[in-house]
Structure 1
Amino acid sequence: MAGDHVSNEADAIVSAIIAKWCAGFAALDAAALSSLYSRNAFFFGSNPKLYRGRDGVADYANGLPRWRKPGAAFSGVQAAHAGPDLINMGATVTFDLAGERPDLVVKMSWVIIREDGDWKIVNHHASSKAPLI
């Protein structure tokens, strides 16, 4: 079935990006993280500011506390093509900061586009898992 192939492709693309993202986060490597984003990216992380482009993502990453052993685990990942060059991703991400602060659990969504023959995150939004209403 064509639909299964497309969803499997989206899952594989998203899994590869998540693996690179988690490795970059574990090293607090701003260059590695920002390379996963589109040159036109919009990025809402754990503070109120909207960061734009790869430089913005690098600024955000460079501004994070220098935790000794940061880790991120994605769960409940949903990925689907929204068009031939567009993938939607939603997940829960648990940030384990090795006791330096309580674990942080967020809802994460990414919009991923095909850019220059590669898949890049063009929209990144993290928000509290705790209900607002």
Structure 2
Amino acid sequence: MRNAAEDVVAAIIERWSAGFSKLDANALASLYSNNAFFFGSNPTLYRGSEGVAAYFNGLPRWASPTVQFTDVRTAEVNADLINFAGTASFSLGEGEPPLSVKISWVIAREGGEWRIVSHHVSSKTPLIER
């Protein structure tokens, strides 16, 4: 049985996945705070929902993009703040290599709505070997 934080994250993942499958920058940006920090697949720090829209508008127009979230972990920090971590596996269409990244979000309740305030993806390939 899911708890409230898991329900919030599941709803955001559902909306995020639907927006990504259409590369709908406005739908995706609507999930983010106007004060969001966003590190995606390039080194630029995008800020706010306008920055998020700019990031997604700048992506290639793949024919049939999809994303699947796995290894999802959530933690309710308090009644208005949720931590999320997982793996996002992107399929970008025929002829495009698949992409799998570690992803984390900080999700906050703002004005009664849940918004992503921090988005970070990183490589699954270790940067430092022990």
TM-score (norm 1): 0.93
Alignment of 1:2-13 (within 5 A): 8-13=3-8
Letter matched to residue 34 of structure 2? R
Alignment of 1:18-37 (within 5 A): 18-37=13-32
92-101 or 115-124: bigger deviation: 92-101
Structure 2 runs not aligned, ≥5 long = none
Counterpart in the other structure of 1:108:
103
2: CA distance, partners of 1:100 / 1:52: 32
Q: Aligned residues: percent identity? A: 59
2: CA distance, partners of 1:100 / 1:13: 34
1:17 lines up with 2:6 in the alignment: no
TM-score (norm 2): 0.96
Question: Residue 60 of structure 2 is aligned with which of 56, 65, 70?
Answer: 65
1:55 lines up with 2:50 in the alignment: yes
Counterpart in the other structure of 2:84:
89
1:130 lines up with 2:118 in the alignment: no
1: CA distance, partners of 2:21 / 2:122: 20
- Greater helix proportion: 1
2: CA distance, partners of 1:97 / 1:63: 15
Letter matched to residue 37 of structure 1? Y
Deviation at 1:104, TM superposition (A): 0.4
Q: CA offsets, 1:101-133, max 9 Å, x none?
A: 210010000000000101000000001111111
| Aligned residues of 1:112 and 1:120 also touching (Cα < 8 A) | yes
Structure 1 runs not aligned, ≥5 long = none
Counterpart in the other structure of 1:79:
74
Q: Is the partner of 1:48 in helix, strand or coil?
A: coil
Counterpart in the other structure of 2:41:
46
Question: How many equivalent residue pairs?
Answer: 128
